[in-house]
Structure 1
Amino acid sequence: MILSPHTDDGELGCGGSIAKFVEDEIEVYYAALSSCERSVPENYPKNILKKEVLEATEILGISKENVLLYDFEVRKFPTFRQEILDSLIKIRREISPDVVFTPSSYDTHQDHKVTREETLRAFKGCTILGYEQPWNNLTFDTTAFIPLDKRHIERKIRALMRYKSQAERPYFDGKFIESLAKTRGVQINAEYAEVFEVIRWIIR
């Protein structure tokens, strides 16, 4: 289960891993809690991110039936904390994921912080991994790595390219995405990797 506070966070944090999971025939679900309509650039329709996230997750191999979209207002998650928790509990009951990916404990964005905190409440019986987003992290706990091949990173970059409304953001740059994955790969003697904070590890 990939929990994305806003459309695109899940792909940015673990898009390469998603591509690998799908390739390994692991069923992947993706939930975006906000499509950020209040912060969409003026030259795009307000619902553009809903369209882009479906295109991006399809490239990664997630079926449309496994993509859940919510409409919590961007930058206002603290106001909707209980409603977000209720939504996550419903996801847990209906999907029963083994592993949940969520923003890390070091993420400074207010919406990401609420998502991570409510993830802990809703998914107490699951392994929880926090994904890396350097532009929001003051530091990071590199305690879990997923080794990746070049094709996984290439698919991640292709998926992120579907977010034309976000193309001006520097962290959508393909060279940055590849260099970060290569850096993490070097740390474990792999070609590429994505790194995660171990928030909760359930050994079964």
Structure 2
Amino acid sequence: MDILVIATHLDDEVIGCGGAILKHVNEGDSVYVCFICGGTSVRYPNKDLVETRRSHGRKVAKLLGVKEIFFQDFPIIMLDTIPQLEIVTALEKVIFKIKPQVIYTHYSDDINSDHRSVYEATMVWCRPSKTPFLKKVLLYEIFGSNRSFNPNYYISIDKYVEQKLEALSLYTTEVDAQTRNLDTIKKVAQYRGAEINCEYAEGFILYRQIE
């Protein structure tokens, strides 16, 4: 099975579904990750720093067992200034190259405008008439950024939580920023685990599933 994770920023993929990625890989699935904001911006004006962050992303992908990563060059904290068609077109190339059966992406109710823009662009390609090969769409949780996130789909990550945290620690330019530190992310996984009677879990909103 081919899985595509669509992430706005480097580290979103680990925070939102790092455990799920590890589980998919362990079960023999092919996982791909597409980062939308991979370019320079007001926050990251230095091209050397941008490449440093991308090198972190490559290390994380290797640790998680991701088959291939795609870097788009949209600027951080500026997606709402970009015509949606540009983001939609960039996603089209990746989605139709992979033809994934499962997509993981952002949740709609998010205080981060970049996350909302990526959600909206992704949904264009989640219509059954556009992507008949796509059977499941899951929206992942970014703690501290999402509002009113009430999961209706869970994945136990008891076996994978430590490796998820190890992967997150590789993002040395991001870890400990706001609520994204390792301790917080582990507590979120523990809380979601308690909701389904396991030790650790990731929670998702099931947008659509076709059997």
TM-score (norm 2): 0.88
Partner of 1:135: 144
Letter in 2 for 1:97: P
Letter in 2 for 1:29: Y
Report the structure, 1 or 2, having the larger helix content: 1
Aligned-partner SS, 2:145: coil
Cα distance change of structure 1 residues 55 and 41 upon mapping to structure 2, 3 Å threshold:
farther
Partner of 1:176: 184
Letter in 1 for 2:105: T
Q: Deviations over 1:22-78 (max 9, x none)?
A: 111111010001125322398x73322111111111111113xx1111110112212
Partner of 2:119: 116
What is the alpha-carbon distance in structure 2 between the residues aligned to residue 117 and residue 179 of structure 1?
29
Partner of 1:99: 102
1:41-190 alignment to 2 at 5 Å? Answer: 45-63=49-67, 66-78=68-80, 79-125=82-128, 126=134, 127-149=136-158, 151-190=159-198
Letter in 1 for 2:147: L
Following TM superposition, by how much is the alpha carbon of 1:173 offset from its aligned partner in structure 2, in angstroms?
2.0
Cα distance change of structure 1 residues 183 and 41 upon mapping to structure 2, 3 Å threshold:
farther
Following TM superposition, by how much is the alpha carbon of 1:199 offset from its aligned partner in structure 2, in angstroms?
1.7
1:192-203 alignment to 2 at 5 Å? Answer: 192-201=200-209, 203=210
Partner of 1:16: 19
Q: What root-mean-square deviation, in Å, do the aligned CA atoms of Structure 1 and Structure 2 show?
A: 1.7
What is the alpha-carbon distance in structure 2 between the residues aligned to residue 53 and residue 135 of structure 1?
21
Q: Is the 8 A contact 1:32 1:69 kept in 2?
A: yes
Q: Is the 8 A contact 1:147 1:185 kept in 2?
A: yes
Identity %: 28
Aligned-partner SS, 2:8: strand
Unaligned runs of 5+ in 1: none
Q: Is the 8 A contact 1:89 1:123 kept in 2?
A: no
Partner of 2:131: none
TM-score (norm 1): 0.91
The size of the alignment, in residue pairs, is 199
Cα distance change of structure 1 residues 176 and 31 upon mapping to structure 2, 3 Å threshold:
same
List structure 1 segments (4+ residues) > 3 angstroms apart after TM superposition: none
What is the alpha-carbon distance in structure 2 between the residues aligned to residue 187 and residue 36 of structure 1?
38
